[in-house]
Structure 1
Amino acid sequence: MRAPRMHLAALLMAALPAAAAPPPDFAHQIAPIVYRACAPCHRPGGTAPFALLTYADVSKRVAQIAAVTRTRYMPPWLPEPSSVSFEGERRLTDEEIRAFADWAAAGAPEGSARDALLPPQLPSDWQLGTPDLVLEAPAALDVPAVGPDLYWNFVLKPNRSATAYVRAMEVRPGGGPGLVHHANLLVDRIGSSHNREIAPGKGFGGMDLEIMRSPFDPPGNFLFWKPGSVFHQEPDGFAWRLDPGDELVLNVHLRPTGKLEKLKPLVGLYFTDQRQTRYPLLVQL
């Protein structure tokens, strides 16, 4: 009778459900995602309104994070999923989104603090290091607390005595979180933009700069900033030319935040000895 009993025990064990996988925890599954996709903006001095660098930071917002990642509202990434990959892509995978949902459902367990990654060492100043040339808006713009969106153009004068080639640029728009929606840097080859200023150094308003019918150069259509931007060098051969007499126009889209603010942006330029050999082409659709 021993053999049948052993067979019966084996059948009963086989019928038992498999042990459920443990829920994700912060130390092992959540922290790596947060540090890659969230922390570059959600840090002290960043463009986001709060930091996400520690377990305490993240766990107290677990429901909110699960909701905004489920809808792909965060992290902000507009291109639809496809076979094309982009440099600096921050789209979460389906598995990462599910990890946030499962973590929230499990009550946001921390896991072993000894196993957790250290928060990333993010730059508090210029992302690309000290620029070769820093251009500051000559005068601050007073942004009202309430009202419609505002578009403003700051005219920057590099005052170059010789042609330089710019391998990278970085924009530090200033202002509080949410004030600057995005900014574009335009290259004026004629150096006449200052003639449109409301007063010397004060800049001028407006969104439509008539780029296609003006002296603005095509490289300016590829130089932009938005919250969360990761700055990088131009590809080989695409360093853009900065000639004596050129002016740069920083076109900024502003959204009042409920309090009076002053905006005085900075633009950092990084030079290279390599001349431009490849040229962008603007196709307007």
Structure 2
Amino acid sequence: MKVIRTISGLRQELNSLKQTRKDGGSVGLVPTMGFLHAGHASLMTRAREMSDTVVLSIFVNPIQFGPGEDYETYPRDEERDLALAERHGIDIVFIPTVQEMYPKQVKTKIVVSELTSLLCGASRPGHFDGVTTVVSKLINIIKPNRAFFGLKDAQQVAVLQQMVTDLNLDVEIIPCPIIREKDGLALSSRNVYLSQEERTQALILSRSLNDVREAMNCGKATTAAEARLMLNEIIHSAPLAVIEYAEVLSFPELSRVEDDTLLVDLQGQVIMALAVKFGKTRLIDNLLFTPKEVLSLV
């Protein structure tokens, strides 16, 4: 495993690898902000299965953090990250500095409209502009065949897939399943911020999603309004939970499903998406499903 910290060094290494393989081989990219956990490990495993060369990037991207967010305090542990990357067969770890990625003031950003105006995009203005900009830079630098992202941030996956389609980028975005603790909490680098009581109460997120899905199975939540109401009621039963949103949307279009819509009438996938604060820690979670499959059990 090689650790590379400059764009020129990374390009040189990738060009060298390409020359040693007649067909160039396939390159998989796993973009991260570090402080790696089992969720990231699942992305690395998938990338290793589908790629000849796997590049893991570790970069806490300042332009996707808003004022007052946790950029300065975002958890970092490079030594631990490198050990995990090596155990999962990563070929190259790219760890640039902010100066390396943004040597001058950023005057060009990639903006995906509509999909970024709701959910996390509504509460974190400019966040997805920072995400799409840094991911497009990584794609241009590395030129991967595939890039791997976790579905815990399903909105991010939808936004990046739209960007790739609209700009004809020669890369495939590979969505990977949410990885959870045994008790159901979705893995996140920010989970370390939670106090013991906050972490206990945060289990209400996965519980609410599963309970609403079960209610659909039993015919007790057949409209979008019923699903939203039940999500909110269950989450509010945790005293420390402060709901930012609890929504029902089509996926990947991210169009709001009208209240009186019968979910069984919807085509394609639907997402129940949550963002909830416990103390100062903001957590997201979601459940993707096909209504006809769920409601056919009624």
Name the one with the larger helix percent: 2
The reply to whether TM is greater than 0.5 is: no
**Length-normalised TM-score, structure 1:** 0.28
